[in-house]
Amino acid sequence: MIVGLGNPGPEYARNRHNIGFQVVDLFAERHRLKFDKAQKRARVALGHVALTAPAAPWRGRVLLVKPITFMNASGEAVGPLAKFYKVAAADILVVFDDLDLPVGRLRLRPDGGSSGQKGVKSIIQSLGVEAFPRLRVGIGRPPGQMDPADYVLQGFSAAQEEEMAFVRIKAADAIETWLAQGVVAAMNKFNVT
Mean pLDDT across the stretch 38-52? 95
d(CA 66, CA 75): 11
pLDDT exceeds cutoff 70 at 55: no
pLDDT exceeds cutoff 60 at 160: yes
Handedness of CA 191, 162, 50, 65 (dihedral sign): positive
* 33 to 19, 76, 82: CA distances (angstroms): 18, 23, 19
The Cβ of residue 73 has, within 10 Å, a number of other Cβ atoms equal to 17
Q: How confident is the model at residue 52 (pLDDT cuts 50, 70, 90)?
A: confident
d(CA 49, CA 62): 7
The pairing of beta strand 134-138 with beta strand 58-67: unpaired
pLDDT exceeds cutoff 60 at 193: no
d(CA 110, CA 13): 27
pLDDT exceeds cutoff 70 at 84: yes
At 114 the pLDDT is 86
At 115 the pLDDT is 81
The Cβ of residue 173 has, within 10 Å, a number of other Cβ atoms equal to 18
Instruction: Return the closest-CA partner of residue 18 out of 33, 75, 10, 89.
Output: 10
Catalytic residue set: 17
Q: What is the pTM of this model?
A: 0.94
Facing residues of 58 across strands? 51
d(CA 103, CA 105): 6
d(CA 114, CA 116): 5
Mean pLDDT across the stretch 147-171? 93
Cβ pair 121, 132 in contact under 8 A: no
Mean pLDDT across the stretch 103-128? 93
d(CA 107, CA 174): 10
Rg (CA), the chain: 15
pLDDT exceeds cutoff 80 at 53: no
